[in-house]
Amino acid sequence: MSSPQFRSRLAPSPTGALHLGNARTFLVNWALARQRGWQIMLRIEDLDGPRVKPGAAEESIEILQWLGLDWDEGPTYQLADLTPYQAALYQLASQGDIYSCTCTRKEIEAASLSAPHGDEHELRYPGTCRPSQPVPLAAEQLLNKGTALRLRVPQGVVKFVDQFAGEQSLDVDESVGDFLVATKLGLPGYQLAVVVDDARQAIDQVVRSDDLLSSTPRQMILYEKLGLGPLPQYTHLPLVVGEDGRRLAKRHGDSRLSYFRELGVPPDRIIGLLAEWCGLSDRQPMTAKGFLQLFELQCLPFEQVVYTSSDEAWLLGND
Nearest one of 143, 150, 159, 97 to 128, comparing CA atoms: 150
Give pLDDT tens digits for 138-181.
877 786 778 999 999 999 999 999 999 999 999 999 999 999 99
pTM over 0.75: yes
Q: What is the set of domains in the chain, with CATH numbers?
A: 7-80+238-315 (3.40.50.620), 83-236 (3.40.50.620)
Nearest one of 186, 202, 188, 196 to 222, comparing CA atoms: 196
Average pLDDT, the chain: 93
In the prediction, which pLDDT does 115 show? 59
In the prediction, which pLDDT does 66 show? 98
Give pLDDT tens digits for 37-74.
999 999 999 999 889 999 999 999 999 999 999 999 99
In the prediction, which pLDDT does 174 show? 94
Mean pLDDT, consecutive 10-residue segments, the chain of 319 residues? 77 95 98 98 95 94 98 98 96 96 92 65 90 88 84 97 97 96 94 98 98 97 97 97 85 88 97 97 96 96 94 90
In the prediction, which pLDDT does 122 show? 78
In the prediction, which pLDDT does 142 show? 80
CA distance 279 to 284: 12
Strands 240-241 and 305-306: parallel
CA distance 257 to 46: 20
158 strand-pairing partners: 170
